[in-house]
Amino acid sequence: MRLLSETPQARNGRQAQPVSQRLRLHELTPQQTSLVRSVLFGDVEYLNRSFWLDPDTGKRGIHPLRIHELSSFARSWALAPIPCIRLMNDAIARITEASRVSRYLGAAVDLEILMDRAVTGDADAKLSHGIPSYLADGYIDMGSRSSFTQRQGREKIRVDKDRLRARLVDAKRQAVESVASRNRNRVSLEKLLARYYDVVRREIAYDERGVRTLYEELGDRTIDLSNYMREGVGVCRHLSILYQLCLQEAGIYSSVVKGDMRLFGFKERHAWNVAPFQGEIALIDITLPNGAGPFILVGESLQDINLKAAATYHRAYVPTPDSRNHYRIQTTARV
């Protein structure tokens, strides 16, 4: 089971288009410029010295970002965005001024959206198989049916990070607070996994009827994930995608997994999440809780997890091959 943070471009061996063609230096805010440099330097303390004071006016100025630095950052983002996100979170966690923390949280999410679009563009608008381990802005979950248009009752789900911005900023805030707490009290990863579980379940209630109603209203087309959040309805595929987006904001390697879930002998199509956990693997079923608490199982492998799931919960999780899952990435047009 792949748990890498590589983008589809990197996995397919393609080079990102020159960032100068998609993103200009002047498009970055001072906070984003400082975040880029903190990642390039690998320096989590950089944000606290990323500015200088004008002796005449007393105003803050930032050290300029050069085009080769932005291009280098774009290459890093194209290959592995999760380490970039984690470094930014670690840097923001070192800021002590609450107002600066808020500005940097928003700037980091906006930078993520900018980089997703600059690196990806519409180069991956073609159909691809599987589920990428990093869900970029414009990711479209096509489901098991490969048609771009005819869905036969199953909508295409588009990740629209611009409209999800408030939720992503809040997820990043919790991650940054966790970093600061972990530095002091060693808060466990399991608590962070459970925290995001609770957040997602508050945002979206499992509601098949509500999903069907929204589909019928909007037609046989792509539907933005933000629409489901606005209505507060979804099923396993919506819940697992939103949970994945939260984990990404925390800089946690993870993946959405689709397959068959067997419960008390009954089998149905299902979606869940997996994430590395202290040298093992955590399986998180965001849809079916464990009583009043989250369903999180940790094991050395999926086989080990299934042994525990079967013995205690009468469950089994069987991923389906990539050929049964389809996606594309398209940031500009909505079909």
- DSSP three-state, residue 131: coil
Report the pLDDT value the prediction gives residue 231, as an integer from 0 to 100.
93
Please, which residues have CB within 8 angstroms of residue 102's CB and are 6 or more apart in sequence? none
Report the pLDDT value the prediction gives residue 232, as an integer from 0 to 100.
93
Q: For each of the domains in the chain, give its residue range(s) and CATH number, in order of start.
A: 15-124 (no CATH), 141-329 (3.10.620)
Report the pLDDT value the prediction gives residue 153, as an integer from 0 to 100.
58
Low-confidence ranges of the chain (pLDDT < 70): 1-26, 52-56, 58, 121-124, 146-153, 180-188, 219-220, 332-335
Report the pLDDT value the prediction gives residue 14, as an integer from 0 to 100.
43
Give the separation between CA 324 and CA 316, rounded to whole angstroms.
19
Report the pLDDT value the prediction gives residue 332, as an integer from 0 to 100.
58
Report the pLDDT value the prediction gives residue 285, as an integer from 0 to 100.
95
| This prediction's pTM | 0.88
What burial class does residue 169 get, using C-beta atoms within 10 Å of its C-beta: 0-12 exposed, 13-18 middle, 19+ buried? Answer: middle
Report the pLDDT value the prediction gives residue 4, as an integer from 0 to 100.
44
Report the pLDDT value the prediction gives residue 334, as an integer from 0 to 100.
42
Give the separation between CA 276 and CA 263, rounded to whole angstroms.
24
Amino acid identity, position 49? R
